[in-house]
Amino acid sequence: MTIRRGAFSGAMTLVAAILAVAMFGTNSASAEVSELRIARQPGLAYLPLQVMERERLLEKHAEAAGLKGVKTKWVTFAGGNVMNDALLSGSLDIASGGVAPLITLWAKSNGRVRAISSQSTSEIYINTRNPNVKSIKDFTDADRIAMPAVKVSVNAIVLQMAAEQEFGKGNAYKLDPLTVARSYAEGSAALLSGIGEINSAASALPFYAREIKTPGIHTVLKSYDVLGGPATNNLIWTTQKFHDENPKTYAAFLAAYKEAIDLINNDPTKAAQIYRDADSTKAYSIEELVAMLTDKKVLEYTVVPHNVTKYTDFMFRMGVIPRKPDSWKDLFFPEIHSLQGS
């Protein structure tokens, strides 16, 4: 397999970018940033960021902290690679995405990139329209599984864990050749189309809710079964440089983020409307979205990390990262260390 060599070469690029930012980025100054540049990806897991934008919560908390006129710039990315390049180059302040890419960045940057908080504890489904595939053991070379990023995404890591459990040690990468990179929306559309080589998809809410209601599509794998329980899927993160040079802005962002999560949990109908208003496809009704937002068995918005060390232990053992954290707290900035994470 080439994952180690590719991961190492990519890691060296990331480390070089981080060092460049550290050495040649903005000069340290007492003034904090006047514009906060925030990235998100499509999907229900990123709803807290949509709520923040719609309700102007960052602006509210920044003003309360004495930061006048702070602006926000919201950018949407389909996947993590380009977003992380933007973060490390200094053209982005806060990134959001899966737990596995954050772990990789943390390890390769010697902790210069860390998580601000969890976004959601949510389950990943692998669904297929191939009637012959009852479990992942039944996938063949004729099958193709869509996921946002191959080899290194949280979806890919879950599939690797499952492959090792099913086929035995040394077989974690057995199904990697069947995976293809597509956004959640693209992968789901390909699966639902009933045509083309992509006949399976690693899906998150809201996409898998539509898939599993479609005749001819069934679930092959659930991430909670692989991980032994609920686990953090998505995080938000930034650089040590941004954290240290903008303490008031950082605190305002975290406060705004917590308020956004409280709004979702306390008023799921309003949160569903915010999501639907931002969704150009209008594929899901308010009633469908509220049902998803209130099903705590598969989706919970929380800043508390859950089971992230299941990923770090596996990724370290497979050689994907050169070191692993002593605890979940090593992956996160200290502002949430008082929480009961794992």
Outline which parts of the chain fall under CATH 3.40.190.10: 3-121+231-336, 125-227
Class at the top of the CATH hierarchy for domain 3-121+231-336: alpha beta
CB atoms within 10 A of CB 64: 11
State if pTM tops 0.95. no
> What is the C-alpha separation between 17 and 109, in angstroms, rounded?
10
Q: Residues 175, 145: contact at Cβ < 8 Å?
A: yes
Q: Helices marked H in the chain — which ranges? A: 3-24, 47-55, 57-64, 80-89, 99-108, 154-167, 184-193, 207-211, 223-227, 240-245, 247-266, 268-278, 286-293, 308-317
Residues shown for the chain: 342
Give me the tens of pLDDT residue by residue for the chain, a chain 342 residues long.
334 444 444 444 554 454 444 433 443 445 899 999 999 887 888 999 999 999 999 999 999 999 999 999 998 876 666 778 888 888 999 999 889 989 999 998 999 999 999 999 999 999 999 999 999 999 999 999 999 889 988 999 999 999 999 999 999 999 999 999 998 889 999 999 999 999 999 999 899 889 999 999 999 999 999 999 999 999 999 999 999 999 999 999 999 999 999 999 999 999 999 999 988 788 889 999 999 999 988 899 999 999 999 999 999 999 999 999 999 999 999 999 999 999
What does the pLDDT read at residue 297? Answer: 87
What does the pLDDT read at residue 83? Answer: 79
Q: Residues 3, 320: contact at Cβ < 8 Å?
A: yes
Q: Residues 17, 89: contact at Cβ < 8 Å?
A: yes
Q: What residues form DSSP beta bridges with 332?
A: 115
284 φ/ψ angles, rounded to the nearest 5 degrees = -125, 140
What does the pLDDT read at residue 8? Answer: 40
> What is the C-alpha separation between 3 and 160, in angstroms, rounded?
12
Quickly name the fold that domain 125-227 has: D-Maltodextrin-Binding Protein; domain 2 (3.40.190)
pLDDT digits (tens, 9 = 90+) for 7-22: 444 444 554 454 444 4
Q: What residues form DSSP beta bridges with 234?
A: 98, 120
> What is the C-alpha separation between 93 and 34, in angstroms, rounded?
12
Structure tokens at 337: 């260390």
